[in-house]
Amino acid sequence: MEVRVEGQMVEGQAGDSVASVLQKALSGKRFKAVVAARALGGAEGLLDLSSPVPAGCEGLEPVYADSAEGLQMIRHSTAHVMAAAVKKLFPTARVTIGPSIDTGFYYDFDVEKPFSTEDFPAIEAEMQRIANAREPFTHEVLSKADAVARFKALGENYKVEIIEGIDADTVSVYTCGDFADLCRGPHVPHTGFTKASKLMSVAGAYWRGDEKNRMLSRIYGTAFADEKALAAYLKMMEEAKRRDHRKLGRELSLFTFKEDVAPGMVFWLPKGMLIRTILEDFWRKEHLKRGYDIVQGPQLLRVETWQKSGHYDHYRENMYFTQIEEDAYGVKPMNCIAHMLIYGNELHSYRDLPQRYFELGVVHRHEKSGVLHGLLRVRQFTQDDAHIICAPEQLEGEILEVIHLIRDLMHLFGFEYKVAVSTRPESSIGTDEAWEMATSALVQAVEKAGLPYTINEGDGAFYGPKIDVRLLDCIGREWQCSTIQVDFTLPERFDLTYVGQDGERHRPVMVHRAIMGSLERFIGILVENFAGALPTWLAPEQARLLTVTDAGDEAAASMRDELKALGIRAQADTRNEKLGFKVREAQLAKVPYILVVGEKEVQAGGANVRLRNGDNLGLKSVAEIAALIRADAEEPFKKGGMRYSFA
């Protein structure tokens, strides 16, 4: 048979291993970097290098260690190596599951004493021993009965439970050294590919995520194709710790959490609430400028409404419910239903379209306590939700306008971003024709906007496909924020119509969109991206006047009031403390402009201007200081189609 490998036709025999075929087409150096292959043609799928080339295979696509798929395989294989090391050092530990995740991998163990980071050196040393041994990952397929017998003999009752729940006659098992694990695979050829690894943290996790089950001990780790990539990641993680918004939120007095009172819900402190208010006011004005109407819906809707929308069937596990008199209500997890009901409140003509409804709407979503994470994962949050109801022929233009709004926001904060189009998931509502129309509309709009994009198969919302935009922060992390979703289904369910030019009623299409997404999450991202030193226009305190002696108190207070009258957020520190101490405190508070008022400055009627980065601009009058701050605040807005207002 002939198999195509990277443009070459390679001769092979039935039963030849994937590795032997690839070796004929690839140089020694390139082949050594291959961890698996994807079969193309009549027998598609990922294959171990030791697997035989399947019948009907037309081509083999090498999977390299430094590719996304290769990295996922390295991490999954490293999870097996870690489990093998744990079993060697802690023979009574029982293994459960150990998948790869976006940042690395984890494995859950049932142990008498939970693991701590103090156990890491010994585990990592054993992992390196296994990696250096270059032990092969061998694959075998067992009958369910044989697999149950094997893992029962090993005392691995969790594996037995998993096997008994599998709806198949056979199961897949991988072995490296003495350690066998239930796994679909594929895996890297040998443990030598797992050398660049590091254990990161420990946590508790319930078996199968059920709080009624036994608490397990979870070890998180990460792995990369080489030591250089691992070192770069660890450096980024150290920087991320320095920028952690939870730490900075405490230090800058922005927000707090009271887990004993309201877990997963934010208590905004004055400075944090000021940041949020500035952001909300700016965002409302921007939407009004772009033709949106501001609306607001109720927090509670009858359960029948959520059943009608499909949320009850597809989303109820993430919702909160309550009873009022004889009726059951659902607390809104999204704003779309209220916006459709607002549209349906009156009859619309084609001349009225599009209708663009915008709401900074508070929503509640039930998240398990284990995944709550500061502002980034909460149970109550505010979403910059908008719904555009338009005629089908207006759809592409409306999506383009939303893309332009996303672009302008990303430019404002200096973010680069990635775009993905997500298609129909397994659990969905609506016809095939509607899904095809909606997906096509999104793809055409993205292409017309000139944006590179990827396809995320099966990752759409249950009611329609979507565009997801992931921003990249200053240390290279990706964050999901913006989304655009086309929906032909809910307008049908809620019987939304408009009167067309022909005098007949027609069905509109709806676009769900959020740009910042959760405001809480977006503010958390901003705090981390700027390490707390927010852009001047968003800083809760733009200027702080520092007195040298009490002789400057009156002048400092007067200048503060003048700056406030000019729209500058200014405070005065007149405490009887040394100037160096006050300057240091202002720098720690990330105040953009530090204004020193000593005897010379009092006589000149101004202040000595220092920036938070340490630069000294010298003596300036109040008018000059206000002009400096205004210009600094307006600078980011010169990059796009947005404007800043002190009003």
Helices (H), 589-620: 599-604
The one catalytic residue in 198, 356, 387, 544 is 387
Longest dimension (CA), the chain: 94
Look-up: residue for tokens 């070796």? Answer: 23
Structure tokens at 612: 């938070």
Is position 512 annotated in a ligand binding site? yes
CB 594 within 8 Å of CB 610: yes
Q: d(Cα 282, Cα 643) in Å, to the nearest integer? A: 9
Q: Which amino acid is it at 83?
A: A
Q: How many residues would you count in the chain?
A: 647
The residues near 208 (Cβ < 8 Å, ≥ 6 apart) are none
DSSP 278-339: HHHHHHHHHHHHTTPEE----SEEEHHHHHHHTHHHHHGGG-EEEEETTEEEEE-S-SHHHH
Is position 190 annotated in a ligand binding site? no
Q: d(Cα 638, Cα 647) in Å, to the nearest integer? A: 18
Q: Identify the bridge partners of residue 110 per DSSP, sorted by sequence position.
A: 94
Look-up: residue for tokens 């033709």? Answer: 291
Structure tokens at 345: 């409140």
CB 558 within 8 Å of CB 518: no
Closest C-alpha among 248, 207, 196, 186 to residue 34: 186
CB 94 within 8 Å of CB 200: no
The one catalytic residue in 87, 243, 339, 383 is 383
The one catalytic residue in 57, 336, 390, 481 is 336
Helix pair angle (432-448, 395-413), 10° resolution: 50
The one catalytic residue in 80, 364, 379, 512 is 512
Helices (H), 470-589: 490-493, 519-529, 553-565, 579-588
Q: Is 512 a catalytic residue?
A: yes
Q: Is 466 a catalytic residue?
A: yes
Look-up: residue for tokens 């995740």? Answer: 101
Q: d(Cα 519, Cα 539) in Å, to the nearest integer? A: 16
CB 177 within 8 Å of CB 127: no
Look-up: residue for tokens 């010169």? Answer: 638
Q: Is 57 a catalytic residue?
A: no
The one catalytic residue in 198, 356, 466, 612 is 466
Q: d(Cα 523, Cα 284) in Å, to the nearest integer? A: 16
Nearest 5°: phi and psi at 133?
A: -75, -10
The one catalytic residue in 187, 243, 364, 365 is 365
Q: d(Cα 364, Cα 481) in Å, to the nearest integer? A: 17
Structure tokens at 526: 């901003």
Q: Is 365 a catalytic residue?
A: yes
Q: d(Cα 2, Cα 492) in Å, to the nearest integer? A: 52
- First-to-last alpha carbon distance for the chain, in angstroms, is 75
Q: d(Cα 54, Cα 40) in Å, to the nearest integer? A: 10
The one catalytic residue in 48, 385, 468, 473 is 385
Is position 311 annotated in a ligand binding site? no
Structure tokens at 9: 């036709």
How does DSSP classify residue 98? -
Phi-psi region of 55 (alpha: psi -120 to 50; beta: other; left: phi over 0): beta
Q: Is 383 a catalytic residue?
A: yes
Closest C-alpha among 168, 254, 273, 213 to residue 589: 254
Q: d(Cα 179, Cα 86) in Å, to the nearest integer? A: 10
What is the rounded radius of gyration, in angstroms, for the C-alpha atoms of the chain? 30
Q: d(Cα 287, Cα 400) in Å, to the nearest integer? A: 15
Instruction: Report the binding-site residues for Zn(2+).
Output: 336, 387, 512
Residues designated as active site: 336, 365, 383, 385, 387, 466, 512
Instruction: Report the binding-site residues.
Output: 336, 387, 512
